Chain A
């Protein structure tokens, strides 16, 4: 079965960077894109960016451009998200998400359990 296992919670100081990993299993990693979505406490979902599991091409949201880096290691079937210049506004639950097979619709069919990032001085 498809699983996305994320790294553990992080506590960071303002201005620091955080890296979260997402290890995929149960499918061919290079056949699906991986997206990152975050959710601030009590808030809605925010799409952050994605990486093509095969080519490694990435796109990030305009809001996070310059601070967000998404990479992947196909040999380890793992995607990574690095967010720099953290502020308290970055305190959120960060999800890695698999894009499904429909192609055109871009549905997010499997979600990790989330990684809590807390930014505090």
Chain B
């Protein structure tokens, strides 16, 4: 099975922009989904299919992909955006799924 690689942590000043990256072979064939997880809570879907926002997710969250690399961008980060962020996608075989190791965002 393939893997998805994320940077362990990133910091951003309040109101600034932060980009969280995710790399892996599966992203060449499948678009990534992104999840936000705050302490003590279940993960929350924030971006699916590379760049689609579920209802209720602020438009400061956006996604993109190029080749085997994907990014989640928070434009104008807020204090409440401090959380762990995980990418995932179908595996290269299409019938399994894989998660990145997660990125801790500090605002």
* Residue B98 CB within 8 A of the other chain: yes
Measured CA separation A35–B42 after assembly (Å): 14
Given A44-B86, A61-B1, A102-B49, A111-B43 contact (CB < 8 Å): yes
**Are the CB atoms of A47 and B97 closer together than 8 Å?**
yes
**Are the CB atoms of B102 and A45 closer together than 8 Å?**
yes
**Are the CB atoms of B96 and A47 closer together than 8 Å?**
yes
Chain A residues whose CB sits within 8 angstroms of the CB of B49 once the complex forms: 102, 104-105, 107
Binding site of B, secondary structure by majority: helix, strand, loop or mixed? strand
**Residues 47-85 of chain A, each 1 if its beta carbon lies under 8 Å from chain B, else 0:** 100100000000101100000000000000000000000
Stretch binding the partner chain, chosen from B12-20, B71-79, B87-95: B87-95
**Are the CB atoms of A106 and B97 closer together than 8 Å?**
yes
**Are the CB atoms of A113 and B42 closer together than 8 Å?**
yes
Measured CA separation A108–B48 after assembly (Å): 9
**Are the CB atoms of B31 and A105 closer together than 8 Å?**
yes
Task: Say which size band chain A's interface belongs to.
Answer: 20 to 34
Measured CA separation A71–B93 after assembly (Å): 22
**Are the CB atoms of A95 and B54 closer together than 8 Å?**
no
Chain B residues at the A interface, C-beta cutoff of 8 Å = 1, 30-31, 33, 35, 37, 42-45, 48-50, 52, 54, 86, 88-90, 95-102
Chosen A-B contacts, 14 in total, with CB atoms closer than 8 Å, are A44-B99, A44-B101, A45-B88, A45-B102, A47-B98, A95-B43, A102-B48, A104-B31, A105-B49, A105-B50, A106-B33, A108-B35, A109-B45, A109-B48
Given A35-B97, A111-B42, A113-B42, A106-B35 contact (CB < 8 Å): no
Chain A residues whose CB sits within 8 angstroms of the CB of B35 once the complex forms: 45, 108
